[in-house]
């Protein structure tokens, strides 16, 4: 009989019981990280942390690490998606303002044509405010008017408020 027989029996009995919580936590963390982009990782981390109280702790430690890392990934992705949705909201507001400004430009366009029909000509650039008033775009900027040799142009400086940039909105009428 071996002098280490009692130790062998002790080691076998301890290893056969294992750490079920550690193993389940690791599996849930791995499934969460691989298949759910981190959604199940907080649950896997919690189960693994509960398994840290029982030996052997290797699987519980691994499950905790994977679960926490996956949870952080999930949190970052969630915040990124939320920010993207908020940016889409800003884009829809900008599109709405662009549409409103286009409608304002069309109204001014029609008023200028009515003025031409009544008087025989479009107003001079300097006379625009007296004839039409001081219309504004959806960003609160004044609508700009320029008489052309054979027509006119009405323009909004757009969201940036600077005339002549790519976000300007304009209607040009040539007779």
Looking at the chain, the whole-number percentage of residues with pLDDT higher than 70 is 87
For the structural domain made of 92-174, what CATH number should be given? 3.30.700.10
Per-residue pLDDT tens over the stretch 140-168: 999 999 999 999 999 999 989 999 999 99
78 has a pLDDT exceeding 50: yes
- Check residue 13 and give its pLDDT: 46
Query: Mapping DSSP to helix (H, G, I), strand (E, B) and coil, where does residue 125 land?
Result: helix
- Order the strands of the 144-148 sheet from edge to edge: 144-148, 151-156, 169-174
Query: In which element (H, E) is residue 35 found?
Result: helix 20-35
So what's the pLDDT on residue 1?
52
Determine if the pTM surpasses 0.85: no
Q: In sequence order, what are the beta bridge partners of 173? A: 152
CB 47 within 8 A of CB 28: yes
CB count within 10 Å of CB 76 equals 11
């Amino acid at each position: 009989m071996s002098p280490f027989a009692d130790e062998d029996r002790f080691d076998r009995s301890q290893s056969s019981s294992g750490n079920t919580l550690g193993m389940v936590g690791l599996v849930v963390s791995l499934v969460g990280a691989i298949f759910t982009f981190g959604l199940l990782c907080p649950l896997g981390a919690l189960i693994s942390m509960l398994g840290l109280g029982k030996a052997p702790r290797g699987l519980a430690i691994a499950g905790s690490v994977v679960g926490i890392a996956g949870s952080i990934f999930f949190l970052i992705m969630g915040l990124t998606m939320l920010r993207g949705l908020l940016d889409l909201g800003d884009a829809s507001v900008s599109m709405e303002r662009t549409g409103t400004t286009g409608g304002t430009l069309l109204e001014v366009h029609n008023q200028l044509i009515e003025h031409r029909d009544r008087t025989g000509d479009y107003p001079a650039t300097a006379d625009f405010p007296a004839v039409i008033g001081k219309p504004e775009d959806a960003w609160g900027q004044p609508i700009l008017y320029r008489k052309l040799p054979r027509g006119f142009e009405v323009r909004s400086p757009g969201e940036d408020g600077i005339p002549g940039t790519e976000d300007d909105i304009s209607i040009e009428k040539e007779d």
